[in-house]
Amino acid sequence: MGRSPCCEKEHTNKGSWTKEEDERLINYIKAHGEGCWRSLPKAAGLLRCGKSCRLRWINYLRPDLKRGNFTEEEDELIIKLHSLLGNKWSLIAARLPGRTDNEIKNYWNTRIKRKLYSRGIDPQTHRPLNSVSSTVTISTNKTSNSNNNSSTSSSCSFNNNNRFQLDMKYSAVPLMQVPANIKIGADSAEDSNSSSGVTTEEVFAQLNLELSIGLPCQSQVSSTNLNESQRQQQVSYQLSRPTTPAVCLCYGLGFQKSQVCSCSAMATTVPADSLYKYYSTSTNS
């Protein structure tokens, strides 16, 4: 069963687009609008597959494309967004009007990477190149919400690439509040500060925090499932103020509701002393 094939691949052109092909595609989309890429090539008289047409339109022919060099502001915004989102080029492009994910991806790989290296920053981790590699795990658990009997638990960790990973599992609204005396554990013997308590602000400042978003997942990190070594790295704490307004990280980044997630905290404001202060203030430029 299933559908019929999108195109006859043996009869399609490949490689660079000709001016005539561009014109055909532009004229067709002007007349009929975007979408239905499957039937577009045939309807427009193009010997291309729909996928190729879509790419050509989105990355090159769309009239709202900005073109030209990236500005310094765009550079910094890309760097910030990459530090938060990782290689999610489509999400980054959504925050840069007139720029495509492909364009940003190319620009990142050819220019910004070099720029960051020249600053002594690892473009993948956004941390200093000579920094000590540490494994740090921060876990938070909150249960017993008296208002709706729901529970929320969140876990933050640095994954294998030293990226800050935030995973939240919640049945109501994600809620995180970091006490000022949060302690961080690290497994690197070279890190002399690993066993001493540091404040949240210090954590962010020292680690040049980068964040990748982990949408709510089914597997919950629990301290009871950790071995002794992992448990030593883990810092668990109870959320101190359960009534603090909930905040969605996606909202802090400026995404529209349902664009990235569908949590109900999109409309709330960011509390001045919340964990998300850093993200919201650093991305609202």
- Closest contact distance (angstroms) between CB of 204 and DNA is 25
∠ CA 142-155-171 to the nearest 5 degrees?
Answer: 50
Member of 6, 132, 182, 226 binding DNA (CB under 7 A): 6
**Within positions 61 to 90, which residues make up the interface with DNA, using CB under 7 A?**
87-90
Of 194 and 210, the one with the shorter C-beta distance to DNA is: 210
Nearest residue to 154 (alpha-carbon basis) of 235, 262, 76, 59: 235
Q: How far is CA 56 from the centre of its chain?
A: 25
The reply on whether position 91 binds DNA by CB under 7 A is yes
Q: Is 4 in the site for DNA (CB under 7 A)?
A: yes
Q: Which stretch binds DNA (CB under 7 A): 48-56, 134-142, 163-171, 206-214?
A: 48-56
The answer to whether residue 144 forms part of the interface with DNA (CB under 7 A) is no
Taking alpha carbons only, the member of 83, 75, 161 closest to residue 112 is: 75
- Geometric angle at alpha carbon 116, from 115 and 121, rounded to 5°: 155
259 binds DNA (CB under 7 A): no
Residue 122 binds DNA (CB under 7 A): no
CA–CA separation, 267 and 115 (whole Å): 36
Q: Which is nearer to DNA, 67 or 224 (CB)?
A: 67
Per CB under 7 A, does 276 bind DNA? no
Stretch that binds DNA, among 55-63, 177-185, 263-271, 276-284 (CB under 7 A): 55-63
Phi–psi pair at 239, nearest 5 degrees: -65, 125
Q: Are 95 and 282 spatial neighbours (Cβ–Cβ below 8 Å)?
A: no
Query: Tokens for 248?
Result: 């969605």
Residue 109 binds DNA, judged by CB under 7 A = yes
DSSP type of residue 164: E
What residues make contact with DNA under the rule CB under 7 A?
1-7, 13-17, 35-38, 50-52, 54-56, 59-60, 87-91, 101-103, 105-107, 109-111
